[in-house]
Structure 1
Amino acid sequence: MILLVCYGYLSSSISLVQSGLVVDSPQYTVIRSESDFEIRLYGESSWVTALVRGNSFLNSTKSGFHRLYQYIHGANVNSIRFTMTAPVLTSFITPQTNVSIYLVRTYIASESPPQPNPELNLQIDKWRSHCVAVRNFPGFARDDNVDKEVEALVSSLNKHLTGTTTIIQDKSSYTVAQYNASRHLTGRLNQVWINVTVPGCPAY
C-alpha cells in the first residue's frame, strides 16, 4: 500500500468573495490536490438541515432551501437573522424505498445556533472533523448533470488513488455544494462531495 502523504495548507475558504460580497464558509485544509479533484479536511461546523423526500434533486433542493431561508431570516426561537453563508449543500441518501431522501443544509457560523421554529421541521447538525473528495463544475446543478459529475469524481478517485489507503465511504451517497444565488447566471461554482477516509483524517 502507498501511504497518502498529507501536505496540507490552510484554505482561505472561511470567507469566500462572490460578486464583491464576503460570505462566511466552513474552514478546511487541502491535503491532496489533483487537476480534477482535491481532498479536503473540514473542521467541526454547524449546519441547519431540512430533510426532503422526493425524486428530483432540483425540486428537493428548492423545497428544503425555502425552509432554511425562513430560519436564517428570523424563524428561530431567538428571532435572530443571519447573513447568508456558502455553500448550500444537498446530500443524496441512498433510498431504502422508491422515494429518495435529500438533506438540504446551510452553514451557520455560530457555535450555538438557535433552534428553528418547530413548524419548519429543521434540525441543527454538528459536524465532526472529516475528509471529503471535491470536484468543481460550472453552470447550474440540475437533475441531468449531477450524476455525471459524481461518476466523474469516483472515476478520478479510482484512477489516482488505487493502491493507496484511501477509502471511499459510500459511492452511492454524495453531496452537491452550490455557492451562488440562482440570479447569478455566469461564473457559477458548484461541487460534488464524497466522504473519504485517508491517513491523517479522523474517523467519521
Structure 2
Amino acid sequence: MLKTIQRALFSSGLQEPKWKPIETTAQDYEIREYEQTKWASTAVSGMQYDAALNTGFMRLFRYIQGNNEKKAKIEMTAPVTCLVDPGAGPFCETTFTTSFYVPEEHQADTPKPSDPDVFIEDRKTLTVFVRTYGGFSNEQKSREELLQLIESLRRDGQQFVEEQYYTAGYDSPFKMLNRHNEVWLLKKSAA
C-alpha cells in the first residue's frame, strides 16, 4: 500500500520501462525485475559524476530531439539512468553510462543515432535492489544513499554486484517538489 502511494506521488507522467516487484519484507528498499528493453545510451569517462551526467544527458537529449537517422522526435521517458563503473585504482577514470529508456512505440524499430557517441543498448532482463529518495540529487547524495542501500542489503544477507551501480532520476530539473531519485544495485545471479 505504502509503495503504491509513493508511486502515485512520485509519478512523472512520462513513459517508464515495465517492471514487476519481487516480494521482500524490507522496508528501506525494493526489489524489481525489469523486462528486456532498448535504451539510448552514451558513455563518458572522467572523475566527476555531475559533469559526466550533464554531458551524457545533453547528447541523449539531442538524439530524442531528432539527431537520429530518421530525424524523428522521440518522447522523453523516465528514468534517466546512469551506470557508474569505477576505474580499478584511486586515480583511474570512472565510466558513466547515461541512458534514456526508448519509448514503447520505438522499441521494435529504434531510430539509429547520428552521433557516434550515442548507441542503442539492448538491456537484458535485470533484477535490481532499489533505494528511493527525494530532493535534488548529486554525486554526494547518491553515494550517501548507495551506502545506505549496501548496509541494508548486507544486513539482510542479499547478494549484489559490488563493482558498479546505477542512479535513476525521474524529474525535470525544473520540478521543485516531490522529486524522485533512486540508486540501484544489480542482484547477483545464482551461479
Please point out which of 95, 100, 103 is paired with 1:106.
Answer: 100
Counterpart residue number, 1:73: 65
Per the normalisation by structure 1, the TM-score is 0.81
In the TM superposition, what whole-angstrom CA distance separates every residue of 1:127-173 from its partner, at most 9, and x where no partner exists?
A: 1112000000111111221111111101111112x2xxx4212x231
Q: Which is richer in strand?
A: 1
Q: Aligned letter for 1:84? A: M
- Deviating 4+ runs (over 4 angstroms): none
CA-atom RMSD in angstroms: 1.8
Q: Which runs of 5+ in 2 are unaligned?
A: 1-6
Q: Which runs of 5+ in 1 are unaligned?
A: 1-12
Q: Say how many residue pairs are matched.
A: 177
Q: Aligned letter for 2:142? A: V
Matches for 1:1-204 after TM superposition, within 5 Å: 17-18=11-12, 22-33=13-24, 34-96=26-88, 98-109=92-103, 110-119=107-116, 121-160=117-156, 162=157, 166-169=158-161, 171-197=162-188
Q: Aligned letter for 1:111? A: A
In the TM superposition, what whole-angstrom CA distance separates every residue of 1:18-65 from its partner, at most 9, and x where no partner exists?
A: 2xxx31100101113421101101101110111111211111110100
In structure 2, the residue corresponding to 1:25 is in which secondary structure? coil
Q: How many percent identity over aligned positions?
A: 25
Structure 1 residue 198, shift from structure 2 partner: 6.0
1:167 & 1:36 partners in 2: Cα distance? Answer: 16
Per the normalisation by structure 2, the TM-score is 0.86
2:109 & 2:73 partners in 1: Cα distance? Answer: 14
